[in-house]
Amino acid sequence: MHVGIQYGCEHLDVEVRDSNLVRVRQQAPAGPVADPGMAVREALENPLGFPALRRALTPDDHVAIVIDLQLPHLQELLTAVLEHLSGAHIAASAITLLCPPLAVPAALDNLPEVCRGLRVEVHDPTDRKHLSYLATTRRGHRLYLNRTAVDADQLIVLARCGYDPLLGYSGAEGAIYPALADEATRREMCRRLSLAAPGHEPWPVRREAAEVAWLLGAPFMVQVVQGQGDDVLHVVAGLAGTASEGHRLLDARWRMAVDQPAETVVAGVAGEPGRQGFADLAGALACAARVVQPDGRIVLLTAAAPPLGPGAELVRQADDPGRALALLREHTPPDMAAAFQWASSVQRASVYLLSALPAETAEELFTTPLDHAGQVQRLLNAEGPFLFLPDADRTLAVAAD
């Protein structure tokens, strides 16, 4: 049987026996929106269970926008939000773009032209001058959060919906907490990561994030559900309680059930390689690790050569994946989540990596580097079953009940 899979901007075709393929159960995907900017405008005018956002604003308000720099069509989406604020007579000088701690200079350099005149802040969890005490949570945790977010008259979150090893689902409240918390909270959260798949019940950290959003007042969420490539499928807007609708739409597109774990899982990371970070590769690897047989094989296909953060460098220094996990728990680097996913996955299965990373680097990350895509076919000449996961960095694959 002929099977194709995208990686980077390339397409790979292989042949496998139909009887060796693991069956996948997934809903038919919705089509992309024709105009992402217009979808944001409509969502801001007609949010779920709330009047148009501009009706909750006054010209004297200071607004902070928590922004996901990896959003597709960032310029169009952000422009739509800023135009909506302008319609409420909010001055550009009263708007702050609040970026997550791991925002890299290159991403900031590529902010849209419409951001000129706005204040841009990268959250620093170690800088106490830019943290503010908000409250004590139900579990007795003293909550220190980014001062700009706490002081804003209106906090807006513009972020992707996705799957996350700490929150279960990323975006919405998860873009506020623990992302904008202090260093002590970040270090504590590093010890609560998991490769498990989120279910119907919110994970503990997600519940804490919802509590933090409630303590902040009424942060306004703009959730973006991606499709293939740079497609945008849905934009959902509303207060924090509407996050569940984003999760539902995300699962409808990206959650799949497989009949059985596979001996070999081929996971592709498609899209422009320059926009893909180590976290995208680690997420794809973790997706495959959930549905591979114990001591099976994962073939990770990407055209990227992302920069490696301190967590990935700790993995490279270790003698084995178990030691890498121990080092990560000891040092809790800023990119802990991605490094945890990577080290946990290579501990579960043998990983073959096709990427633009140097072969030596791939080996130090406990993978076997592939020189070219043609080598994948040889790996599929072994006994199955085989599973193909396109867009594995966005997918949640689980074994069927």
What does the pLDDT average to over 188-204? 93
First vs last C-alpha separation in the chain: 27
Report d(CA 64, CA 306) in Å as an integer.
30
Indicate the pLDDT class of residue 106, thresholds 50, 70 and 90.
Answer: low
Structural domain ending residue among the three candidates 204, 227, 252:
252
Residue 380 lies in a domain: yes
52 and 11: one domain?
no
What does the pLDDT average to over 98-122? 74
Query: Residue 74 pLDDT more than 70?
Result: yes
Residues 215-249: pLDDT tens digits?
A: 999 899 999 999 988 899 999 999 988 999 999 99
Query: Residue 180 pLDDT more than 90?
Result: yes
240 and 216: one domain?
yes
Give the per-residue pLDDT at 107: 58
Give the per-residue pLDDT at 382: 78
Residues 271-329: pLDDT tens digits?
A: 888 888 999 999 999 999 999 999 999 999 999 999 999 999 999 999 999 999 999 99
297 and 382: one domain?
yes
The total number of structural domains that make up the chain:
2
Report d(CA 331, CA 237) in Å as an integer.
37
Report d(CA 145, CA 124) in Å as an integer.
10
Query: Residue 139 pLDDT more than 90?
Result: no
Indicate the pLDDT class of residue 109, thresholds 50, 70 and 90.
Answer: low
127 and 92: one domain?
yes
Residue 29 lies in a domain: no
11 and 145: one domain?
no
Structural domain ending residue among the three candidates 219, 236, 252:
252
What letter represents residue 1's amino acid? M
Give the per-residue pLDDT at 110: 65
46 and 153: one domain?
yes
Residue 31 lies in a domain: no
Residues 8-29: pLDDT tens digits?
A: 989 999 888 888 888 888 777 7
More confident residue, 130 or 229: 130
- Name residue 288's beta-bridge partners: none
- Name residue 121's beta-bridge partners: 98
Burial, 20: exposed, middle or buried (Cβ in 10 Å; 0-12, 13-18, 19+)? Answer: middle
Structural domain ending residue among the three candidates 225, 252, 279:
252
Give the per-residue pLDDT at 297: 96
Residue 283 lies in a domain: yes
Indicate the pLDDT class of residue 125, thresholds 50, 70 and 90.
Answer: very high
Query: Residue 250 pLDDT more than 80?
Result: yes
Looking up residue 322, the CATH number of its domain turns out to be 3.90.226.30
- From the list 130, 252, 137, the residue with the least C-alpha distance to 182 is 130
45 and 14: one domain?
no
User: Tokens standing for 241?
Assistant: 């309680």
9 and 40: one domain?
no
Residue 353 lies in a domain: yes
More confident residue, 111 or 387: 387
Residue 54 lies in a domain: yes
What letter represents residue 269's amino acid? V
Give the per-residue pLDDT at 271: 86
241 and 280: one domain?
no
Give the per-residue pLDDT at 384: 79
128 and 179: one domain?
yes
Residue 17 lies in a domain: yes
Indicate the pLDDT class of residue 396, thresholds 50, 70 and 90.
Answer: very high
Domain that holds residue 148: 36-252
User: Tokens standing for 252?
Assistant: 């409808």
Query: Residue 256 pLDDT more than 70?
Result: yes
82 and 161: one domain?
yes
Q: For the chain, how long is the longest CA-to-CA vector?
A: 67
User: Tokens standing for 105?
Assistant: 């200079």
Give the per-residue pLDDT at 94: 95
Phi, psi torsion values for 14, nearest 5 degrees? -135, 165
Phi-psi bin for 170: left (phi > 0), alpha (psi -120 to 50), beta? beta
Looking up residue 195, the CATH number of its domain turns out to be 3.40.50.11440
167 and 187: one domain?
yes
What does the pLDDT average to over 80-89? 94
Residue 28 lies in a domain: no
